[in-house]
């Protein structure tokens, strides 16, 4: 499509409600809700999902159906502000929990609410500001070239306004059902959270968690990604653990301090996973992230060159409403203020030159992230690879300058957090601006909306992290914080040189082997790094999606927009519902009320209850996801 002949849905000369009190309040509420839910999900399974489409559907249901207002740009503003919370949470939970883990070990004091908020604000604001001068180059000039899958899908959802009510039912139904199931499992504890089957012949076990969000993640990711993760879990639990137990015997292998036989006798397969497989998985994830970055290097270089070239011809203060961006003067002032804040912050031990370098690196990764999501979508954006590369460079530079203690480690994670949040926010902002470009929104108002969502999310994410840490503690069974644990290993390994490098390199070469045969290593590596109980339930969601896709294919049903199907919206609601109840249970745990709800001593359904509940979850996803309209 030629961008010169493109006409948005709302013409540039038409003024309609957009940045209103209603849209701002609703956007802020959704930013907090989806931000908290995504933070909880990411800390449990190491993955986050896009909130743009569910936020758009909810806003449309409220504004169009309940309030009886025909205002598509107002609904778009709600999802613009609301999705900012999910993206900032995604960037923050990969790195910031490391500070809590070190506090538990006595390395440093626990981070304060202010410290987390300032780091999140710096990354979030820079991510939005960097995308403003890139809008003309990536969104306008590349229209028809860069598809921006989530942004385009979100626009289609909003354009299909007459379906808003029925679509919203799927989101709210998913939220309600998941909230009920989560409360039964973790609140009342009348159903087991994990179904485990011992496999004594192989000295291991097969397990699956009984949680709706995992089924939802598997359905949204699809059968291919879910199967890659499951394959990684099978390698860990049915290849490596049996091999270590069988051949290890009476040997004491570093980093273990007792024999393999004793470790297995006392803790079973889980102890072997914790002592050895975790490090192999860490090496696999690190290698997978770096490989994904290396594979995109030609695209990264071309992207940066084209974007900078496109900026020269951009007009940040266009006469038409649909061409108006925030002024470059304001952007420059904002960036300078952020540089001074980074320099002044005691938590980020860098000189003024170091702060400038962080901002330069941030702009580079923001450019890369914005174009990458335009090509492959937000879910395939290698943010974790960028974060790993940044951490390796930052930690090595701090070590070379002699800053090797707790101060240096804190500085490395702060720098990595800022870069990670910049990349996540820039990707989200570009998707939202693409939606706005198709609909005819005012870019300037959208950019202000992104900043509002970013500021609110940055101020609340610290409270969510502190609450979850006080309730269960990062690294625990409830919130394992897999990405953050990996980042901690990397920093400590570079600083102290005490990682079991043999195990790390075994994992790295597993990733390389998968890449050699043409399989994307990162999802396999994540499956290897996470406990099998997570990836097996995610696989159930993937199988449900495969069954439905094959069924629709057989019936000749073609979905115009799979991202906005009832199944995707229902599963998005399930993820949000479980996340919100998880936050509620964390509050009850901090208040000491959770024990009063525990009915496990009175009602115990055992593993049968878990299997039945899992079956009900999958059946409900299949039932809701079938295409009722096309089948009729």
Q: What is the pLDDT of residue 562?
A: 54
Averaged pLDDT for residues 301-322: 62
Per-residue pLDDT tens over the stretch 328-344: 889 889 999 999 999 98
For residues 505 and 406, the answer to whether their CB atoms sit within 8 Å is no
Q: How many structural domains does the chain have?
A: 1
User: Looking up tokens 């079991």, which residue turns up?
Assistant: 500
Q: What is the pLDDT of residue 483?
A: 82
**More confident site: 292 or 275:** 275
At 526, the pLDDT band (50, 70, 90 cuts) reads confident
Residue 162 has pLDDT above 50, yes or no: no
Averaged pLDDT for residues 41-49: 77
Q: What is the pLDDT of residue 164?
A: 47
Distance, CA of 324 to CA of 259 (rounded, Å)? 67
Averaged pLDDT for residues 582-603: 84
Per-residue pLDDT tens over the stretch 96-115: 999 999 999 988 888 889 88
Mean pLDDT (the chain) is 84
- 248 part of a folded domain: no
For residues 577 and 212, the answer to whether their CB atoms sit within 8 Å is yes
- 604 part of a folded domain: no
Q: What is the pLDDT of residue 453?
A: 94
Q: What is the pLDDT of residue 619?
A: 95
Look at strands 204-209 and 194-199 and give their pairing: antiparallel
Distance, CA of 576 to CA of 234 (rounded, Å)? 28
Please report, for residues 221, 367, 370, the alpha-carbon distance to residue 310 in angstroms, rounded to integers and kept in the order given.
Answer: 33, 12, 14
Per-residue pLDDT tens over the stretch 125-140: 999 999 888 888 778 8
Per-residue pLDDT tens over the stretch 52-91: 778 887 887 788 777 777 778 998 999 999 988 888 988 8
Name the residue range of residue 38's domain.
21-161+327-376+399-479
- The C-alpha R_g of the chain, in whole angstroms, comes to 24
At 544, the pLDDT band (50, 70, 90 cuts) reads very high
User: Collapsing DSSP states into helix, strand and coil, what is residue 161?
Assistant: helix
Q: What is the pLDDT of residue 275?
A: 87
- 536 part of a folded domain: no
For residues 460 and 86, the answer to whether their CB atoms sit within 8 Å is no
- 451 part of a folded domain: yes
Residue 33 has pLDDT above 60, yes or no: yes
Residue 498 has pLDDT above 60, yes or no: yes
Q: What is the pLDDT of residue 326?
A: 87
Distance, CA of 481 to CA of 42 (rounded, Å)? 7
Q: What is the pLDDT of residue 308?
A: 62
Residue 169 has pLDDT above 90, yes or no: no
Q: What is the pLDDT of residue 631?
A: 47
- 531 part of a folded domain: no
Averaged pLDDT for residues 168-176: 83
- 48 part of a folded domain: yes
Distance, CA of 331 to CA of 550 (rounded, Å)? 49
Distance, CA of 469 to CA of 104 (rounded, Å)? 10
Per-residue pLDDT tens over the stretch 366-414: 887 887 777 656 655 667 667 777 888 888 888 888 878 888 888 888 8
- 364 part of a folded domain: yes
Distance, CA of 181 to CA of 199 (rounded, Å)? 28
Residue 550 CB burial class (10 angstroms; 0-12, 13-18, ≥19):
exposed
- 117 part of a folded domain: yes
Percent of the chain past pLDDT 70, that is, above it, reads 90
């Amino acid at each position: 499509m030629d961008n010169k002949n493109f006409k948005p849905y709302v013409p540039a000369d038409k003024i309609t409600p957009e940045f209103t009190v209603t849209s701002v309040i609703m956007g802020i509420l959704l930013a907090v809700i989806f931000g908290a839910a995504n933070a909880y999900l990411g800390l449990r399974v190491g993955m986050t999902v896009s909130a743009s489409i569910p936020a758009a559907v909810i806003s449309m249901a409220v504004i169009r159906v309940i309030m009886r207002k025909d205002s598509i740009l107002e609904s778009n503003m709600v999802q613009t502000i609301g999705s900012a919370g999910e993206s900032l949470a995604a960037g923050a939970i990969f790195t910031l929990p490391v500070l809590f883990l070190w506090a538990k070990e006595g390395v440093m004091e626990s981070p304060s609410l202010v410290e987390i908020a300032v780091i999140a604000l710096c990354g979030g604001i820079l991510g939005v500001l960097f995308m403003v001068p890139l809008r003309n180059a990536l969104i306008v000039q590349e229209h028809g070239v860069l598809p921006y899958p989530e942004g385009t899908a979100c626009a289609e959802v909003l354009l299909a306004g007459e379906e808003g009510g029925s679509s919203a039912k799927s989101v709210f139904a998913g939220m309600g059902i998941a909230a009920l199931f989560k409360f039964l499992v973790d609140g009342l504890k009348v159903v087991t959270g994990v179904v485990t089957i011992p496999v004594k012949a192989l000295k291991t076990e097969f397990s699956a968690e009984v949680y709706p969000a995992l089924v939802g993640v598997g359905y949204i990711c699809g059968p291919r990604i879910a199967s890659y993760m499951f394959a990684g879990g099978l390698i860990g639990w049915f290849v490596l653990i049996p091999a270590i137990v069988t051949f290890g015997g009476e040997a004491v292998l570093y980093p273990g301090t007792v024999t393999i036989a004793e470790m297995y006798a006392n803790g079973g397969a889980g102890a072997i996973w914790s002592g050895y497989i975790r490090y192999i998985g860490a090496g696999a994830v690190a290698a997978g992230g770096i490989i994904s970055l290396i594979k995109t290097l030609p695209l990264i270089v071309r992207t940066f060159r084209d974007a900078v070239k496109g900026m020269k011809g951009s007009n940040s203060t266009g006469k038409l409403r649909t061409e108006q961006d925030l002024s470059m003067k304001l952007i420059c002032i904002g960036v300078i203020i952020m540089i001074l804040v980074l320099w002044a912050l005691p938590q980020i031990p860098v000189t003024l030159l170091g702060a400038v370098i962080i901002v330069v690196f941030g702009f580079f990764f923001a450019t890369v992230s914005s174009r990458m999501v335009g090509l492959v979508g937000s879910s395939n954006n290698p943010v974790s690879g960028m974060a790993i590369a940044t951490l390796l460079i930052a930690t090595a530079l701090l070590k070379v300058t002699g800053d090797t203690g707790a101060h240096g480690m804190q500085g490395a994670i702060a720098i990595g957090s800022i870069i990670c949040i910049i990349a996540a926010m820039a990707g989200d902002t570009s998707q939202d601006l693409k939606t706005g470009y198709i609909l005819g929104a005012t870019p300037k108002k959208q950019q202000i909306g992104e900043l509002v969502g970013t500021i609110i999310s940055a101020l609340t994410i610290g409270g969510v992290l502190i609450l979850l840490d006080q309730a269960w503690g990062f690294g625990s069974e409830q919130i394992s914080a897999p990405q953050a644990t990996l980042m901690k290993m990397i920093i400590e390994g570079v600083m102290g040189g005490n990682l079991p490098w043999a195990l790390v390199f075994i994992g790295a070469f597993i990733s390389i082997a998968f890449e050699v045969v043409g399989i994307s290593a990162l999802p396999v590596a994540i499956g290897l790094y996470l406990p099998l109980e997570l990836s097996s339930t995610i696989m159930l969601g993937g199988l449900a999606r495969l069954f439905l896709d094959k069924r629709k294919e057989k019936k000749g049903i073609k979905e115009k927009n799979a991202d906005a199907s009832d199944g995707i919206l229902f599963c998005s609601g399930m993820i949000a519902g479980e996340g919100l109840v998880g936050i509620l249970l964390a509050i009850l745990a901090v208040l000491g009320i959770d024990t009063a709800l525990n009915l496990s001593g009175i009602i115990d359904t055992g593993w049968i209850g878990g299997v039945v509940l899992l079956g009900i979850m999958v059946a409900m996803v299949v039932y809701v996801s079938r295409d009722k309209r096309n089948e009729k």
